[in-house]
Chains A and B, each alone.
Chain A
Amino acid sequence: MKIKSVPFKFVFIIFYYLSCSIPISAQIFGEADLERLIMKHPMMKNYDKKTGHFKNTPHELRNVQDLKNENASLTLELNNIELEEIKRAKGSLEADIQNEDSFWNDVVSDSNRKQLLENKIRDNKELIERNGNPGFSKLYPIIDDMCNDIFVSLYDEKKVILNKLPRYLLNKPDLEGKDFRQFWNKPSSVILENYLKHSYYISQMFPSVDKTILFQKVGEYK
Chain B
Amino acid sequence: MPHIMNYKKINIILLITVFYVISCAQVSYSCSLALHDWQLIFFYKIPINAPFIPLSEISVIQNKFSKAVTDRILWVIKPGILSPYLDFIKSFFSGWVADTKWEIIPNSKSVIKIARSFSNEEKKPLIVGSDKNFLKIAVFFDANSKNNCCQIVLAQDSRLRCVFQDANSPWAQEFNMQSWYSLIFYRMPIPGTIISFSTYPIDGTRSSIYEDHDLVELLLSKKCLMRRPDLVVDPYSFDFPDLPE
Residues of A at the B interface (CB closer than 8 Å) are 34-35, 38, 49-53, 85-86, 88-90, 92-94, 97, 100, 103-104, 107-108, 111, 136, 139-140, 143-144, 146-148, 150-151, 166, 170, 200, 203-204, 213, 215-216, 218-219, 221
Contacts and interface: CB of A to CB of B under 8 A. Distances in A.
A88 B110 CA distance: 16
B173 A219 contact: no
Among B12, B14, B169, residue most surrounded by chain A Cβ atoms (within 10 Å): B14
Contact of B25 (A35, A93, A104, A147): A147
B116 interface: yes
Contact of A139 (B12, B17, B229): B17
7 nearest CB pairs, A to B: A52-B10, A89-B170, A89-B172, A147-B21, A147-B22, A143-B21, A86-B169
Given A52-B11, A143-B17, A147-B18, A221 B174 contact: no
Given A140-B21, A151-B22, A221-B226, A52 B7 contact: yes
Contact of A143 (B18, B119, B163, B170): B18
A221 B12 CA distance: 25
B108 interface: no
B131 to A, nearest CB: 11
Contact of B174 (A111, A139, A146): A111
A216 B10 contact: no
B218 interface: no
Contacts of B229: 221
B70 interface: no
Contact of B23 (A52, A170, A215): A215
A107 B22 contact: no
25 contacts: A38-B18, A51-B7, A52-B7, A52-B10, A52-B11, A85-B172, A86-B169, A92-B112, A94-B119, A97-B112, A100-B112, A103-B172, A107-B172, A107-B173, A107-B174, A139-B17, A147-B18, A147-B21, A166-B15, A170-B12, A200-B13, A203-B16, A204-B16, A216-B23, A221-B35
Given A35-B15, A88-B172, A148-B25, 19 more contacts: A52-B7, A52-B14, A53-B10, A85-B172, A86-B169, A89-B163, A100-B110, A104-B174, A107-B173, A108-B174, A147-B25, A150-B22, A151-B25, A166-B15, A170-B12, A203-B16, A218-B26, A221-B28, A221-B144
Interface string B155-180: 00000010101000111111000000
Nearest to A200: B13
Interface in B115-138: 115-116, 119
The interface size bin for chain B is 35 or more
B124 to A, nearest CB: 9
A103 B112 CA distance: 10
Contacts of B15: 35, 166
A185 to B, nearest CB: 24
Contacts of B173: 107, 111
A93 B170 contact: yes
A219 B165 CA distance: 55
Contacts of A51: 7, 10
Contact of B26 (A88, A90, A166, A221): A221
A81 B115 CA distance: 22
A146 B115 CA distance: 52
Among A88, A103, A147, residue most surrounded by chain B Cβ atoms (within 10 Å): A147
A93 B22 contact: no
Contacts of B116: 93
A98 to B, nearest CB: 12
Nearest to B171: A89
Contacts of B17: 136, 139-140, 143
Nearest to B124: A93
Nearest to A82: B169
B19 interface: yes
